C-alpha cells in the first residue's frame, strides 16, 4: 500500500524510530509527504534534515515562518546527502548521520528528524547490500538521543526483492496513516551476511 500524505506525520512516531514508508511517484505525493513531515518537525521545534531530489520545491512549500527559523532546517539533494564524494559509502553516511544527531543536541535541540527519498539508489546503481547495511546500522546509532529517521521508497522503481530488504531493516512501518511494528524486521546481528 502506498503512503498518502497526511497532515499529522507525528502520529505514532516514537523516540529513536527508524520508519519506512512506500509511495508511488505516479501519484506525485512525495513532496507532500516530505513537506508535512518537515513542517510538523519545525513546528515542534525539532532540528530537521531532508534528502530529496528537488530541495527548492520542498522548501518553497513549507510555511515561511517555519523556514525562517534560523538553522532548524537543512535540505540537500539525495546525491549531495548520500554521495557527497560521488559514490555511496555506508561508513561515511552513518558517520554523517551520527554527527548530525549529536550536533542537534549540542545546539540545544531536544529532537532531530531526518527524511530521505531513497530513489538515488536506483539512479546511481548503488550496491544494494551496502545500502541496506547502512539502513540496518541506522537502528543502532546514538540510541540515547531522541531522533526520528523516515525512509521513503518509490514502489514504481523498486522491485519485490528490494521491498523485502526495506522491510527487514526498518523496525517500524508507516501504513495508512499510522506507524506499526514491522513483523518483517530483523535486527542487524541476525541478518544473513
Contact 146, 164 (CB under 8 A): no
DSSP letter string, 67-133: HTSTTSEEEEEHHHHH-TTSS--HHHHHHHHHHHHHHHHHTT-S-EEEEEETTHHHHTT--HHHHHH
**pTM exceeds 0.85 for this model:** yes
By three-state DSSP, how is residue 136 classified? helix
Query: In CATH, what is the architecture of 17-190?
Result: 3-Layer(aba) Sandwich (3.40)
- Placement of cell 507525528 in the chain: 10
29-59 residue pLDDT tens:
888 889 999 999 999 999 999 999 999 999 9
Per residue in 119-141, pLDDT (tens digit) is 999 999 999 999 999 999 999 88
Q: Which residues contact 180 (CB under 8 A, 6 or more apart)?
A: 12, 172, 173
Task: Compute φ and ψ for 157, nearest 5 degrees.
Answer: -120, -15
Each residue's pLDDT tens digit, 57-96: 999 999 999 988 888 999 999 999 999 999 999 999 999 9
How far apart CA 43 and CA 18 sit, in angstroms, is 21
- Residue 123: half-sphere exposure toward Cβ, Cα within 13 Å: 15
pLDDT above 90 as % of the chain: 72
Query: Which residue matches cell numbers 523516540?
Result: 15
Q: Where are the domains of the chain?
A: 17-190
Amino acid at each position: 500500500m502506498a503512503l498518502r500524505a497526511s497532515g499529522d506525520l507525528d502520529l505514532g512516531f516514537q523516540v529513536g524510530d527508524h520508519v519506512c514508508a512506500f509511495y508511488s511517484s505516479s501519484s506525485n505525493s512525495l513532496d507532500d509527504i516530505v513537506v508535512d513531515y518537515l513542517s510538523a518537525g519545525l513546528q515542534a521545534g525539532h532540528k530537521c534534515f531532508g534528502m530529496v531530489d528537488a530541495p527548492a520545491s520542498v522548501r518553497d512549500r513549507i510555511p515561511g515562518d517555519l523556514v525562517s527559523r534560523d538553522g532548524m532546517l537543512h535540505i540537500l539533494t539525495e546525491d549531495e546527502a548520500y554521495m557527497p564524494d560521488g559514490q555511496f559509502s555506508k561508513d561515511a553516511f552513518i558517520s554523517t548521520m551520527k554527527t548530525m544527531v549529536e550536533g542537534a543536541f549540542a545546539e540545544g535541540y531536544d529532537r532531530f528528524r531526518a527524511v530521505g527519498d531513497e530513489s538515488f539508489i536506483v539512479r546511481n546503481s548503488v550496491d544494494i547490500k551496502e545500502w541496506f547495511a547502512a539502513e540496518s546500522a541506522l537502528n543502532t546509532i546514538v540510541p540515547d538521543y531522541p531522533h526520528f529517521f523516515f525512509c521513503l521508497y518509490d514502489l514504481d522503481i523498486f522491485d519485490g526483492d528490494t521491498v523485502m530488504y526495506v522491510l527487514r531493516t526498518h523496525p517500524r512501518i508507516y501504513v495508512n496513516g499510522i506507524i506499526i511494528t514491522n513483523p518483517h524486521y530483523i535486527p542487524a546481528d541476525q541478518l544473513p551476511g
